[in-house]
Amino acid sequence: MRFGLVAGEASGDVLGAGLIRAIRSRVPEAVFEGVAGTHMAAAGCEVWEPSESLAVMGLVEPLRHVPRLMRLRRGLVRRWTASPPDVFIGIDAPDFNLGLETKLRAAGIRTAHYVSPTIWVWRAGRARKVARAADTLLCILPFEPALYEDHDVNAVFVGHPKADEAPGVVDVQAARGQLGIAASEVVAVMPGSRSSEVARLGGLLAATMRRLGAARPELHFVIPAARPDLRDRIAAQLAEAGVDRRRVTLLDGQAMQAMSAADVVLQASGTAVLEAAMLRKPSVATYRVAPFTYWLGRHVFRIRLEQFTLPNLLTQEPLVPEFIQGDAEPGPLADAVLELLDDPQRRQFISERFDRLRRALALDADQRAADAVLELVRP
């Protein structure tokens, strides 16, 4: 049994690896091939092209990559139509994968798309593209299947892998001990996993840390650099902002451990905010994009969400303060973190609500996704 896969970026690579392991636990002889990252390769996928090839962000910024990505997609179509897999699974990267899935499905190949496009944010018309592209859509958020009811899409809620990964009990003191942190108050700072995010947000977060340090002399910071090549850039941003490095633990990776050690997490808006929520951590989120990209999103693509972070979309009341674009300034960010540090009852309330959310999302997503994919190859 053969499976073709294309995973976009690091998060897709992790999803793909879990899916591969779950399928292989039932079909040991299964073969996996396609566009993959290090996690999928370690799980046994033959890598034709690295996932990083699809890691382009924004509304305008990806345009210069279009010719290269079109060549890659044409090559994959030729290769898989010449030697069809039993199922093709596109993991995230909808702008790339939905077109690929449509062509492969037209050639008679069964297709699945893993992770719904954010049609609840913008470009709702992509629901029709999903209907043309995928035999099955694997959703990781509970409200998503209902969005496809009018489009004849077999949308299956599988749960969220981040909820499955989160421990039932988070031992804060043990995490601090493992990281060598003796401080009584700790803030984890997460500037993002992409070079562009660190470039845009790292200085902002460093300036916020400087303010927080002035207000709380005993406060310690822990920063997990998502990749080794980002560590030096983060260190330079800290130095430029005048942050006392004696009060900072800068890690290579270890994001979960860093968040586990924290009282509050200050972070770039994205998947990591949900990860913090799954660890029951109160958070403050921020994000900036290129000004023209932001203008397009607001005025051309009509993005009008009142809340941007996933936890705020999944809870009855917003629990994560958000500071987006023009609101992303060191003063308001520092004030929001200090409010949480000064209010242990509020932090406890948030933690309890996040634990309810974790239990609602922890459904063993890898196995449920494998069930849905294997249904496509059963006669």
pLDDT digits 0-9 by tens, 138-150: 999 998 999 898 8
Classify residue 166: in a domain, yes or no.
Answer: no
The string of pLDDT tens digits covering residues 232-245 is 999 999 999 999 99
Structure confidence at residue 379 (pLDDT): 63
pLDDT tens track for 320-365: 999 987 788 999 999 999 999 999 999 999 999 999 999 999 999 9
Specify burial of residue 331 (Cβ count, 10 A radius: 0-12, 13-18, 19+).
exposed
Predicted TM-score of the model (pTM): 0.81
Residues 184, 329 share a domain: yes
User: How far, rounded to the nearest angstrom, does the alpha carbon of residue 167 sit from its chain's CA centroid?
Assistant: 18
Q: Where are the alpha helices (DSSP H) in 261-361?
A: 271-278, 291-299, 310-314, 330-341, 344-361
How does pLDDT run across 18-39, given as a tens digit for each residue?
A: 999 999 999 999 999 999 999 9
Helix (H) or strand (E) holding 48: strand 45-50
**Tens of pLDDT, residue by residue, the chain (379 residues):** 999 999 987 788 999 999 999 999 999 999 999 999 999 999 999 999 988 777 654 444 455 667 778 889 999 999 999 999 999 999 988 889 999 999 999 999 999 999 998 776 556 677 888 999 999 999 999 989 998 988 889 999 999 999 999 999 999 999 999 999 999 999 999 998 888 888 889 999 999 999 999 999 999 999 999 888 899 999 999 999 999 999 999 999 899 999 999 999 999 878 889 999 999 999 999 887 655 455 444 544 445 556 568 888 888 889 999 998 778 899 999 999 999 999 999 999 999 999 999 999 999 999 999 999 999 997 6
What single DSSP character describes residue 183? -
* Residues 328 and 189 both lie in one domain: yes
Q: What six digits make up the tokens of 155?
A: 């949308």
∠ CA 64-66-69, nearest 5°, is 130
Same domain, 124 and 218: no
Q: Are residues 349 and 371 in the same domain?
A: no
Distance, CA of 190 to CA of 287 (rounded, Å)? 11
Q: How many domains does the chain have?
A: 2
Do residues 368 and 333 share a domain? Answer: no
- The CATH number for 91's domain is 3.40.50.2000
Answer yes or no: do 49 and 8 share one domain.
Answer: yes
Domain membership flag for residue 73? yes
Q: Which string of b and e fits 148-174 if b means at least 16 CB within 10 Å? A: beebebbbbbbbbbbbbebeeebeeee
Residue 21 and residue 49 in contact, taking contact as beta carbons nearer than 8 Å? no
**30 shares its domain with 118:** yes
The whole domain housing 116 covers 2-159+363-375
